[in-house]
A and B are shown apart, each in its own frame.
Chain A
Amino acid sequence: MNEYLYQQIVIEKAHRVYRKTVGEIAEEYKKQSLAPAERMTRRFEWLCQQEEPVLLPGEKISFLRTVRNLPDVFTQDEWEKIRKEHFIHELGYQSNLAANYAKVLEKGLLALKDGADACTCRSIDAILGLTARYAEAARETGREDIACVLNRVPAYGARSFPEALQSVRIMNFAFWLEGNYHNCLGRFDQYAYPYFKKDMEAGVLSEAEALELVEEFFLSLNRDSDLYPGVQQGDNGQSLMLGGKRADGSCGFNKLSELCLIASRNLKLIDPKINIRVDKNTPDHIFALCSELTKAGLGFPQYSNDDVVIPGLIGCGYAPEDAVEYTVAACWEFIIPGVGRDVANIGALSIPKMVDICLHRDLRNCTDMAQFRACLREQIRRGCEEICQKVDRLWFVPSPLLDRIMDDTKYLNYGVHGVGMSTGADSLTAIEEHVFVKKDITADRLIRAVDTDFAEEPELLHLLRYETPKLGCDSEEADENLCWLMEAFADALQGRKNEFGGIWRAGSGSAMFYLWHTEDIGASADGRRKGEPLGANYAVSLFARPDGPFSVIRSMTKPDMKRVINGGPMTIEFHDSMFADEDATFKVGQFVKRFIHMGGHQLQLNAVNVQVLKDAQAHPEKYPQLIVRIWGWSAYFVELDRPYQDHVIARQEYSL
């Protein structure tokens, strides 16, 4: 590792000294009545000029953001008008896309000007202009090696591994500067591999040198990440996928994949977010390597199971040759690099809210569980319909550069998170068990208790919370309710078409809705008190006391996840003492393998130590580098808002 660079960027943050703020531009653009693509191009050209080339001592991969802010291209009034005419997703700029980096590495940007429109050509010229200024600066400071690389890429195709890394870094930098966000890195170990392999075989690159380059490349992705927009610092979508099946069906895990796992473990940084694709044939040593990375406590890697995801995507209408190329968007949503423009997080259905509505409206009128289920099925259908109807005349600000690095769009599907599945399933189980089977709680009493947050009913709270079957507790009924819920959710979106002819995909992610969705419901029938957060993504409830990790994956892998394949990992926390030695760490890898064999679709496994987290809350100054996993990304613990910190602490943790 380049210790000096690490010290400068991560510890001292000395590179931030070069930053400056630029003024607003939207009023001027408005005055000139510029078209959106023109505005994006003009801003990008301007920012490329405003950027000052900075070469950090000893670096091999250049480019550093020196413009701190990204002035909007529309004024407030203009946005208001646009929002009246269109459905605007989040910030309105393009996000959660994985560009076709391979295209730039193979052909170079100049070749991509062929057949491109004027805005695209100008944007390409702008980033190449900045690259030329960087090359000049490198030459002036005696860095002929860097100048040489920058003279070649990204204008032309890369010829070596260092050129490939520099090219990807510049493109990633350019996507952010263009105003796109959650810029995903896709299947890095696949598109960068030919250059790595060529250099290794030619003997011009040693394994140690390659590792150092990968580390520096990863470090470069952390230089500007505090400038990227997100719900919290770290929520920036720089996800990188490793391994997985190749088009010919063979295993794509290669030496470069391995170096990426090692580099991430050595650096212990929040970017890039490491994902890995595995399947039932993945050899044990890969699970062991991954487990070594999990031990580092970053929340990496997140696993996706090819045996479930690929057929799941094919079931959604993706061509097999595209499905096999899947990666993840910012967090965990499955997307196809280049050809996929899915808006994978366009809505979120609160499952607890659906149950809550039926609890209040229908439960008194139901004589058995089947009737209640029928009401809930209808409510989930309505809930989905509402989400679908809201999305009308969707529009994104066009991005001339990013659009060119994408391919012709083949997929424009929408994805909806199914939030709070376990709270929903456990609430259903509570209703089934107590109102209909044992009949020891009447509908009226249950509703009253939920409405008063169990204030007068401590014994009932205890019964529902701690003595009623839950997911992860060897209960057929609870597991059955989860399967039923997932199916009802999938059914409710099945067959719906969006305005572009795409489909609506059901998913199991939560994003920040594990907090937000508790705001408009009270307590729930599973004994969750008012305001208590839901589980992150697809996890057992925070206060559940499952029998253990085996029982948890047994419950959570029961539903047919191929039908709920928008993405969203089963999330589980292990105490860091589970990774005490090599043998134990290997066993955790074997546990992941079991999850994959049982048909789990995606897994987020975190090594945590609650004692350390609590101490970090009390003494943040002692833990500037402590990293935790939030929902689909990792962050510096002390930089998070308190509710997110508390949620990490409250999650289920299995220890020795």
Chain B
Amino acid sequence: MIGTVFDIKELAVHDGPGLRTTVFLKGCPLRCVWCHNPEGLNPKPQLYVRKHACQNCGLCRKPCNHPDCQIFGRCLHICPQGLISISGKQMDADALAKKLRRNADMYAGGGGVTFSGGEPLLQAEFMLAVMDRLEGISCAIETSGYAAEETFRKVIGRMDFVYMDLKLADDALHRKYTGVSNERILKNLEILRHSGVPCVIRTPLIPEITDTKENLEGIQRILKGLPHELLPYNKMAGAKYPLLDMEYPYDAMQ
């Protein structure tokens, strides 16, 4: 089974207990205006160019015969500074599991693997196939909670720890700033609450959008005592957009 992975981060210190490796799965149904992982949005592989160091030598623009370069119209195998890469690698579940298992001794003492994204639930079957091959390794997920109830139930039942976002309590605002309704998310939150799986609900603090008194109070009313964590806004959040030839929507709103 094949999935699309845009990053694998060893020694992720904010993604769950102990020493962990976080796997970032590509593709997300939400479009949060403040998203700091824009390469996680589109489920397809994308050209990723670290433009700020580019000296415009032009080598990558010369036509080449490499099959993998053709759809991008750029040569991926010539940049003298290694500035051009593809964000989104197609990986086989076996190969990914093997790579993760290699570090099994690092996970001793409560650590393990965390699946993040993008929205990892978009690739739920792939994720479960990888987990089938990670026996004995503790797994966690970072999710927006936006998925079909059945998928959500199935996946969290396999997790040792769940980080789930609740960004906005108000549905209209949720639609406005993330592109989708929070109805499914709230339903899945109740599933999570009754599942007994250890969890933390997270709210990213976006100035004047999620960090308002009204929103934070609304979230508290929904959570009714579930463990809650506030994530400070990442000032560098917009940095990756130009590298993907994308625009940072949060900037456009300012």
Contact = CB atoms under 8 A, between A and B. Distances in A.
B11 A587 contact: yes
A550 B13 contact: no
A42 B121 CA distance: 80
Given A590-B109, A594-B105, A548 B10 contact: yes
Interface string A591-612: 1001001100000000000000
Decide if the interface of chain B is mainly helix, strand, loop or mixed.
Answer: loop
A583 B200 CA distance: 15
Contacts of A587: 11, 13, 18-19
A458 B80 contact: yes
A543 interface: yes
A461 B8 contact: no
Contacts of B8: 547-548
Contacts of A551: 10, 103
Contacts of B109: 590
A374 interface: no
A462 B19 contact: no
Contact of B13 (A461, A466, A584): A584
Contacts of B51: none
A294 to B, nearest CB: 13
A554 interface: yes
Nearest to B79: A462
B194 interface: no
Contacts of A465: 82
B59 interface: yes
Contacts of A454: 80
A550 B106 contact: yes
A211 interface: no
Given A587-B18, A590-B109, A461 B11 contact: no
B184 interface: no
A511 B82 CA distance: 28
B10 A550 contact: yes
Contact of A580 (B9, B14, B77, B111): B14
Contacts of A463: 77
Contact of B21 (A543, A550, A578, A590): A550
Decide if the interface of chain A is mainly helix, strand, loop or mixed.
Answer: helix
Given A587-B19, A590-B19, A594-B19, A462 B14 contact: no
Interface in B1-39: 8-14, 18-19, 21
A532 B90 CA distance: 34
A550 B103 contact: yes
Interface string A566-584: 0000000000001010011
B102 interface: yes
Given A458-B80, A462-B80, A543-B82, A654 B11 contact: yes
A580 B14 CA distance: 9
B11 A583 contact: no
B56 to A, nearest CB: 14
Contacts, number: 71
Given A547-B8, A550-B21, A591-B19, A459 B78 contact: yes
B153 interface: no
A467 B11 CA distance: 23
Interface in A549-572: 549-551, 554
Nearest to B77: A462
Contacts of A35: none
Question: Which range holds the interface residue count of chain A?
Answer: 20 to 34
A591 B18 CA distance: 9
A545 interface: yes
Nearest to B99: A474
Question: Which range holds the interface residue count of chain B?
Answer: 20 to 34
Contacts of A554: 102-103
Nearest to A574: B11
A461 B82 CA distance: 10
Nearest to B232: A580
A656 interface: yes
Contacts of A594: 19, 105-106, 108
Contacts of B59: 458
A588 interface: yes
B9 A548 contact: yes
Contacts of A654: 10-11
Nearest to A551: B10
Contacts of A583: 13
Among B8, B10, B77, B109, residue most surrounded by chain A Cβ atoms (within 10 Å):
B10
Contacts of B12: 656
B13 A547 contact: no
A271 to B, nearest CB: 30
A649 to B, nearest CB: 13
A430 B9 CA distance: 26
Contact of A462 (B82, B105, B108): B82
A588 B11 CA distance: 8
A545 B82 contact: yes
Contacts of B10: 547-551, 654
Contacts of A597: 105
A625 B88 CA distance: 42
Nearest to B64: A459
A440 to B, nearest CB: 13
Given A458-B78, A656-B14, 19 more contacts: A459-B77, A459-B78, A461-B80, A462-B78, A463-B77, A466-B82, A467-B77, A547-B8, A548-B8, A548-B10, A580-B13, A588-B13, A590-B18, A590-B109, A598-B105, A654-B10, A654-B11, A656-B12, A656-B13
Closest 10 CB pairs of A and B: A548-B10, A584-B13, A550-B10, A466-B82, A549-B11, A550-B103, A587-B13, A459-B78, A550-B106, A462-B78
